[in-house]
């Protein structure tokens, strides 16, 4: 069924179709309409789930951790400082290997207070052991929520589904609404390998010693370092699982896409602009304009940011003259986080091959600063013509 709705509604419909059992929520702009919509589904009986309003974002994720530990499919959502308030529990959820799905509706973080869009909130959580997937339109939002549950439950790692506040969360776009039967076929009921059972009391995630030791059954148990190493290994393996998810999804829903990157006019491009989320669609307009000028440029959206699809990106950018990384976040004191990760991937896979492109970094839209298409087009044009700066260049800055 083809419908027109806003991005938050698309995410809520995805959670509903996935038959989540427990929803914990605390309101924060611009995420609030998403969890409000889910509360309406639960109240009306359209969705059989426990909706638990809590006193803080920290508590919201704590509820999801408890519910997931007990074998329930759980969901929450947040933005900006709410995500930062969750930080302790974000680390806990991944360390406990719980397949929670959380929508992060990207918003600038304080101080000073700002309720508009950039991606500093989710980027600040990149090293917490969660999978991070970025969406560029409403179809991707609903589809990614559905894929995220299957992926999380396959690898036992939580997933953040990230999309731009207001630009996607509050705007209306057409998208296909999957049938419940299709989603049920793609996503079977959650059956964890282990979950808490009152008939068999157990302690989970107690203090773990630095070294391996014998457990109560006399078997050699992992120490903290082994547990964390396994998380890293499984995160890297999740790239393969993401590919499997895409194949399964295409077979059932008929929508096929590259799980890691979304290229546009890149096949013959000499230069490629790279970014996360909705800005990559705006850059398509810029690319079309520059193509009319005879400039061979394309744009590539990065869908999976964690685990980082280094091989896929290096292969796609091999032989290009230049890569222009445009970001709505910054690793303060150095450069954009995507810029650093991409340079590392290109160096790892292309150094010494003669196919290593020049990479430049631009920062845009911080705190919701308007990204004018004319300014963005001029930025890409200048980056193609010559190296603009070794330091990140801020688009639209007025100092």
- Residue 251 is assigned to a structural domain of this protein: no
Residues 174 and 42 in one domain: yes
| pLDDT number for residue 130 | 98
**What are the phi and psi torsion angles at 185 (to 5°)?**
-70, -40
- Residue 204 is assigned to a structural domain of this protein: no
Domain total in the chain: 2
Residues 12 and 155 in one domain: yes
Residue 378 pLDDT greater than 80, yes or no: yes
Structure confidence at residue 55 as a pLDDT band (50, 70, 90): very high
Tokens of residue 239, six digits: 């790239």
- Residue 200 is assigned to a structural domain of this protein: no
Residue 216 pLDDT greater than 80, yes or no: no
Residue 332 pLDDT greater than 90, yes or no: yes
Does a cis peptide bond (omega within 30 degrees of 0) precede residue 307?
yes
Tokens of residue 148, six digits: 């995220």
**What are the phi and psi torsion angles at 298 (to 5°)?**
-130, 180
Q: Per-residue pLDDT tens for 228-266?
A: 999 999 999 999 999 999 999 999 999 999 999 999 999
- Residue 52 is assigned to a structural domain of this protein: yes
Residues 142 and 281 in one domain: no
Residue 197 pLDDT greater than 90, yes or no: no
| Mean pLDDT within 4-9 | 98
| Cβ 370 vs Cβ 276: under 8 Å | no
The set of residues, in sequence order, having a beta carbon less than 8 Å from that of 2 and lying 6+ positions away, is 174, 175, 176, 177
Structure confidence at residue 330 as a pLDDT band (50, 70, 90): very high
Chosen domain end from 186, 208, 230: 186
Structure confidence at residue 202 as a pLDDT band (50, 70, 90): confident
Residues 270 and 370 in one domain: yes
Residues 289 and 145 in one domain: no
Residues 132 and 280 in one domain: no
| Mean pLDDT, all residues of the chain | 96
Tokens of residue 326, six digits: 């445009």
- Residue 281 is assigned to a structural domain of this protein: yes
Residues facing 213 on adjacent strands: 221
- Domain of 9: which CATH number? 3.40.50.970
- Residue 348 is assigned to a structural domain of this protein: yes
| Mean pLDDT within 307-324 | 97
Strands 74-78 and 101-106: parallel
- Residue 223 is assigned to a structural domain of this protein: no
Residue 188 pLDDT greater than 90, yes or no: yes
Residues 126 and 268 in one domain: no
Q: Per-residue pLDDT tens for 116-170?
A: 999 999 999 999 999 999 999 999 999 999 999 999 999 999 999 999 999 999 9
Residues 168 and 267 in one domain: no
Convert the chain into a string of H (helix), E (strand) and C (coil): CEEEEEHHHHHHHHHHHCCCCEEEECCCCCCHHHHHHHHHHHHHCCCCCEEEECCCHHHHHHHHHHHHHCCCCEEEEECHHHHHHCHHHHHHHHHCCCCCEEEEEECCCCCCCCCCCCCHHHHCCCCCCCEEEECCCHHHHHHHHHHHHHHHHHHCCCEEEEEECCCCCCCEEEEECCCHHHHHHHCCCCCCCCCCECCECCCCCCCCCCCCEECCCCCEECCHHHHHHHHHHHHHHHHHHHHHHHHHHHHHHCCCCCCCEEEECCCCCCEEEEECCCHHHHHHHHHHHHHHCCCCEEEEEECEEECCCHHHHHHHHCCCCEEEEEECCCECCCECHHHHHHHHHHHHHHCCCCCCCEEEEEECCHHHCCCCHHHHHHHHHHHHHCCCCCCCEECCCCC
Length of the chain: 399
Chosen domain end from 186, 205, 231: 186
Residues 156 and 58 in one domain: yes
- Domain of 370: which CATH number? 3.40.50.920
Q: Cβ atoms within 10 A of the Cβ of 70, count?
A: 15
Residues 72 and 158 in one domain: yes
| pLDDT number for residue 214 | 82
Of the candidates 198, 136, 196, the one whose C-alpha atom is nearest the C-alpha of residue 162 is: 136
Residue 194's Cβ-count burial label (10 Å; 0-12, 13-18, 19+) is: exposed
Chosen domain end from 169, 186, 203: 186
| Mean pLDDT within 362-368 | 98
**What are the phi and psi torsion angles at 370 (to 5°)?**
-60, 130
Residues 283 and 157 in one domain: no
- Residue 32 is assigned to a structural domain of this protein: yes
Domain coverage including residue 387: 262-394
| pLDDT number for residue 198 | 82
Residue 285 pLDDT greater than 80, yes or no: yes
| pLDDT number for residue 34 | 98
Residues 22 and 129 in one domain: yes
Strands 213-214 and 22-25: unpaired
């Amino acid at each position: 069924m083809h419908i027109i709705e806003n991005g938050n509604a698309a995410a809520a419909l995805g959670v509903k179709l996935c038959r989540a059992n427990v929803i914990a929520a605390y309101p924060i702009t611009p995420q609030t309409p998403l969890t409000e919509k889910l509360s309406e589904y639960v109240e009306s009986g359209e969705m059989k789930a426990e909706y638990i309003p809590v006193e803080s974002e920290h508590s919201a994720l704590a509820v999801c951790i408890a519910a997931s530990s007990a074998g329930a499919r759980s969901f929450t959502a947040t933005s900006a400082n709410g995500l930062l308030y969750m930080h302790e529990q974000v680390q806990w959820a991944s360390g406990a290997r719980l397949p929670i799905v959380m929508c992060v509706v990207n918003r600038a973080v304080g101080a000073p207070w700002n309720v508009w869009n950039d991606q500093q909130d989710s980027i600040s959580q990149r090293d917490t052991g969660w999978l991070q997937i970025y969406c560029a339109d409403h179809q991707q939002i609903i589809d990614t929520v559905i894929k995220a549950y299957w992926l999380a439950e396959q690898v036992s790692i939580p997933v953040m589904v990230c999309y731009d506040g207001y630009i996607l969360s509050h705007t209306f776009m057409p998208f296909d609404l999957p049938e419940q039967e299709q989603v049920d076929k793609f996503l079977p009921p959650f059956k964890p390998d282990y979950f808490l059972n009152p008939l068999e009391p157990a302690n989970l995630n107690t203090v773990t010693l630095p070294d391996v030791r014998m457990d109560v059954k006399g078997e050699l148990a992992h120490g903290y370092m082994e547990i964390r190493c396994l998380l890293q290994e499984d995160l890297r393996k999740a790239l393969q699982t993401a590919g499997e998810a895409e194949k399964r999804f295409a077979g059932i829903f008929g929508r096929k896409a590259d799980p890691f990157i979304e290229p546009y006019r890149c096949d013959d491009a000499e230069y490629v602009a790279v970014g996360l989320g909705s800005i990559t669609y705006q850059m398509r307009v810029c690319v079309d304009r520059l193509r009319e000028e005879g400039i061979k440029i394309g744009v590539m959206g990065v869908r999976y940011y964690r685990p980082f699809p280094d091989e896929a990106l290096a292969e796609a950018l091999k032989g290009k003259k230049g890569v222009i990384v445009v970001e709505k976040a910054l690793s303060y004191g150095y450069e954009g986080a995507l810029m650093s990760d991409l340079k590392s991937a290109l160096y790892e896979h292309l150094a010494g091959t003669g196919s290593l492109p020049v990479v430049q970094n631009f920062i845009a839209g911080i705190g919701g600063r308007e990204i004018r298409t004319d300014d963005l087009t001029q930025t890409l044009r200048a980056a193609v013509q010559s190296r603009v700066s070794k330091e990140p260049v801020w688009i639209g800055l007025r100092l």
